[in-house]
Amino acid sequence: AVFNSNYEIAPDMSESIAPGAFSQTLGEDVRALTNHDTTLVLGRNTAGTLTLREDSHGLWGDILINPKDSDAMNTYERVKRGDVSQCSFGFRIGAEEADFRDDGTVHWTITRVDPLYEVSVCTFPAYEATSVNARSASREAALAEHLDAWKTKLKGVLEKWH
């Protein structure tokens, strides 16, 4: 979810998410899904496979994909290719503000999401400003290898000093 990004609910009706709207619900049990499908679970925060937080841009998440789950890997590959590039979320409105405008339009600003049920990698999201990217675990492996090499060099330097 991108803060202050408009979603057109219907003609002359829109909503957006205010900064801080997720702050009270991030510790709850939240799942990461594919297209809101509860049979396609990619991660879960209580299992340590989904990390969620708010930043200045909006709701940010990281999913640790299970390489033994073919459905998860298929979704990962679609994201990696750019075929699926956005996100969505399932929630209930905890609090909102309504702005009934002089031109007959109405805009709701969601100030509290309570609860947040799920986040989804999504083909057709309501909020167009969302994005999802694939990041390879090989990056972390390369960093770990680099750190190990640095530690080995440091150990050699320290042994010379003794």
pTM given for the model: 0.80
**Residues in the chain, pLDDT under 70:** 137-147, 149, 156-162
Q: Contact 50/27 with Cβ under 8 angstroms?
A: no
| pLDDT on residue 140 | 58
Q: What is the pLDDT of residues 17-31, one digit of tens each?
A: 999 999 999 989 999
Question: What is the residue type of 72?
Answer: A
